[in-house]
Amino acid sequence: MIEFTALSQNDLLWGIALSSLAGARLAFALVWERGPRDVLTKVRERVGIEHEDGYPVVSPDTFLGQVFSCPRCLSVWTSFGMLVLWILAASWPGWVWWLAIPVGGFATAQIAAMIGEGKR
């Protein structure tokens, strides 16, 4: 049984900030990247998005098709999911926190990519 503990305001603010970064990175990957063994391409194909050389070219006029073709739109949903996981994680044992390491790596890579695009 899961026991929920109250998060402090500081923990919640960190959760919101990190969830936003992680959600933005995940959304960017789901919309534009192919992923290992084209797994992200297959996810987009399930939603109905057509691809050319593994990259999206045509999206259907459906809710999921539109959301999966817009990183900003999808980031709303992925960031919310990350925040829910952050809140639930407050009651998880310490060994589960190793999952935060890849999320931090993704967020850092996203920030670096955005900074790199701004210099061009």
List all residues 6 or more positions away from 60 whose beta carbon is below 8 Å from its beta carbon: 47, 48, 49
The model's pTM is 0.67
Q: Give the domain ranges of the chain.
A: 9-118
Contact assessment for residue 76 and residue 65, using Cβ atoms and an 8 Å cutoff? no
The string of pLDDT tens digits covering residues 63-73 is 998 888 888 88
The string of pLDDT tens digits covering residues 73-113 is 888 888 888 878 777 777 666 555 666 666 666 777 777 77
Alpha helix stretches (DSSP H) within the chain:
9-32, 39-47, 63-67, 71-89, 100-118
Please state, in angstroms and rounded to a whole number, the distance separating the CA atoms of residues 27 and 32.
9
Confidence band, pLDDT 50/70/90 cuts, at residue 54: confident
Would you call 59 helix, strand, or coil by DSSP? coil
Q: What's the N-to-C CA distance of the chain in angstroms?
A: 52
